[in-house]
Structure 1
């Protein structure tokens, strides 16, 4: 479309995510790739406006409903999205004055064929702008834009104070965490390389494989990324091979591996060993293979396999089984803000059952004296501590060695890791 504005790009993107169910992290990346010719600051504006509007949707609707006779859920989808975007800008972005923001969204409504509702858009946004200092968010679900059933669940599991800290953690800004490919470069040399490319780098003090980066235009444009000198991998995920105790000669299988970060990390640590990285679909296996090729790993093999199906040839063959299993993703809401709106209590129960089925299957691959490392990117106890307790009660040959639940903060996402040793 000729003459498309940054706000219109954001509008189109948000319609797809909030009204048509596209996954925010996948769809937004595709949009930013499509408009890669835009200035870095323009794409940053689109990224922030889209992510912020998704992230704060519950709060934005609360504000809208406080000032509009027509409630958000009753509005036409395009008008609802336009007003949500406007409210987000008014509250959380200060690039332009509120009056100019209101004007931009009135123009956008007219351009999209809703001239008859442009006055409504104008009235709601200007009323909100005039009264924004008076608005209070008394309920935790509104303050942090978390569905009430999750607020109730986390309050029950963690207590009110810890639950609020978790919700606040999801709104903390976070730099991108990457893992140094030590088979190609030292951390010190990678830092120098990135800084010479204009990237801001912060060294992680507690993990010698991790760096935090910011200020880059796009990953794909970085020479260090193209050469496979680093891999995008959260701090929490990098902990898995460390806690699993990977040794140089270990044979390891990662049963739900895509996109392959943990398997590649294990491959670096098990320099004289072997790593089998499995996943369910051709697309996921291709993604693992792509990352194997980019990073130059020679001891990691990508294989298509359904983790719920027992592989008789793999029984008791592996020193370490990495089981980072499908989960609710409620620890990575910051990266995938729409996930909190898409999960339900029923989907959680289905995931718990699937995890149990996979664990019952893949534990057979562990050698005597070997390790089963179970992990999830969630903070849901039914998928984590309770899942482990159930597994150990029916598999007496395993004993828990270490267990940790990370909660979201500036350094990492919410993540669970449990290492169990086979007698």
Structure 2
């Protein structure tokens, strides 16, 4: 049975936004799902799967197309390239969609978008791929090239990880990034018990709710339609947050009455978690650079019902003199390359470059050079990123400790996806010496 063309038109629009206009994939997808809420669950699931799957397998898909097309993907018109990519994803990974339907719909979509003259090309390439898909072989050498195509990760990233970790570890990481994962959520045990939140989620239509193996206030949920459609979410009974981010706050010596500053807080997960740990005491000052990001924090604060946290606009690169030596804890979860969250944010891999990575490492140093001043004597600085890159992580921490001898390293941990029960994430907890 042919799928309605509307779904594939929406998929094309999303993928063009992501690949041509560099809109983050999860934002482009959620915007469309919010706008077209009248679509039924099956249609929304199809849009989500093809969009995310095409992005996730894009390097492999381009490799396949380039085996059968005289015009290589890099030289194609953006609309045609996306039509072919999403069709090849369906041919390779969605057995329930007949190959004839995939080809026919791709041709129809090309014509509808004004490419009548290229419809024969689209038809020929896709029908050849459908017949000969099983003949496509991965490149054998070098190892970085094979892994790059197999797991659709840019080769320079694979080379970087192979230089830092054993081959077996890298392959586990890459495999994890390709798997489908449930959504990790945090609930406040002071507000609702685990049994109650599980029951409410089931009432909301969430098909699967599982305990997290490490954190008692974390759950994995899957089999739900739309996050904003869950009453439990709208009521602020849980917050979507990866376990690695929770473990970062868990590593801090939060005690009642503490003053905490989160310098790059949006959308507010760690700040809210810290505010919960304060149990109605103290205060969390959640800051970020733009009005938009502060708005995201405020929206989440409003949903949470917490009163010991506030949000404000502040550039972390500029010293706020009024904050110097006022914080028991400073959380510096800084802008980074994001390579630890490729499992959920598929498109980061295509937009990041080694040059951008170096710029981010320099930005992190610039911010650390300012915000460490907010820590009281005897207080704690948390430096964290959601990436797997020594230059942004261990090397930056070593540089900071060399520059600022009044701080000592209390704890350092690089979480690796596929090895630890969470996304890739780095934390360094540093203590400032007491005044003499």
TM-score by length of 1: 0.96
1:254 equivalent in structure 2: 262
Q: Distance in 2 between matches of 1:371 and 1:40?
A: 46
Aligned counterpart in structure 2 of residue 337 of structure 1, from 329, 336, 346:
346
**2:126 counterpart of 1:118:** no
The answer (yes or no) to whether the contact 2:332–2:381 under 8 Å persists in 1 is: yes
**2:200 counterpart of 1:193:** yes
Find the residue that maps to 1:38 and give its secondary structure: coil
State the superposition RMSD in angstroms: 1.4
The answer (yes or no) to whether the contact 2:5–2:109 under 8 Å persists in 1 is: no
2:176 equivalent in structure 1: 169
Find the residue that maps to 1:331 and give its secondary structure: helix
Deviation at 1:150, TM superposition (A): 1.2
Q: Distance in 1 between matches of 2:6 and 2:421?
A: 34
The answer (yes or no) to whether the contact 2:204–2:232 under 8 Å persists in 1 is: no
Find the residue that maps to 2:30 and give its secondary structure: helix
Runs of 4+ in 1 over 6 A off after TM superposition: none
The answer (yes or no) to whether the contact 1:273–1:299 under 8 Å persists in 2 is: yes
Q: Distance in 1 between matches of 2:13 and 2:221?
A: 29
Aligned counterpart in structure 2 of residue 290 of structure 1, from 294, 299, 308:
299
Q: Deviations over 1:206-234 (max 9, x none)?
A: 00121111111211111111111001111
Q: Distance in 2 between matches of 1:361 and 1:20?
A: 33
- Which consecutive unaligned segments of at least 5 residues does structure 1 have? none
1:87 equivalent in structure 2: 88
Q: Distance in 2 between matches of 1:314 and 1:354?
A: 21
Deviation at 1:244, TM superposition (A): 1.1
Equivalent runs, 1:350-365 vs 2, <5 Å: 350-365=359-374
Q: Deviations over 1:291-320 (max 9, x none)?
A: 111110100011111111112221111111
- Which consecutive unaligned segments of at least 5 residues does structure 2 have? 140-145
Find the residue that maps to 1:173 and give its secondary structure: coil
Q: Distance in 2 between matches of 1:31 and 1:262?
A: 28
Aligned counterpart in structure 2 of residue 396 of structure 1, from 388, 405, 410:
405
Find the residue that maps to 1:120 and give its secondary structure: helix
Deviation at 1:4, TM superposition (A): 5.1
The answer (yes or no) to whether the contact 2:91–2:97 under 8 Å persists in 1 is: no
Q: Distance in 1 between matches of 2:327 and 2:197?
A: 33
The answer (yes or no) to whether the contact 1:402–1:420 under 8 Å persists in 2 is: yes
Q: Deviations over 1:68-93 (max 9, x none)?
A: 11111122221111111111001111
Find the residue that maps to 1:158 and give its secondary structure: coil
The answer (yes or no) to whether the contact 1:174–1:411 under 8 Å persists in 2 is: no
1:43 equivalent in structure 2: 44
Which shows bigger deviation, 409-418 or 270-279? Answer: 409-418
The answer (yes or no) to whether the contact 2:265–2:286 under 8 Å persists in 1 is: yes
The answer (yes or no) to whether the contact 1:203–1:210 under 8 Å persists in 2 is: yes
Q: Distance in 2 between matches of 1:313 and 1:15?
A: 45
Q: Distance in 2 between matches of 1:5 and 1:304?
A: 41
Deviation at 1:120, TM superposition (A): 1.4
1:228 equivalent in structure 2: 236
Q: Distance in 1 between matches of 2:357 and 2:75?
A: 29
Deviation at 1:196, TM superposition (A): 2.2
The answer (yes or no) to whether the contact 1:181–1:228 under 8 Å persists in 2 is: no
TM-score by length of 2: 0.94
Deviation at 1:95, TM superposition (A): 2.4
Equivalent runs, 1:261-280 vs 2, <5 Å: 261-271=269-279, 272-280=281-289
Q: Distance in 1 between matches of 2:44 and 2:127?
A: 26
Find the residue that maps to 2:381 and give its secondary structure: strand
**2:148 counterpart of 1:148:** no
Q: Distance in 1 between matches of 2:389 and 2:311?
A: 30
2:327 equivalent in structure 1: 318
1:8 equivalent in structure 2: 9
Q: Distance in 2 between matches of 1:243 and 1:132?
A: 49
The answer (yes or no) to whether the contact 2:381–2:430 under 8 Å persists in 1 is: yes
Q: How many residues align?
A: 421
The answer (yes or no) to whether the contact 1:182–1:268 under 8 Å persists in 2 is: no
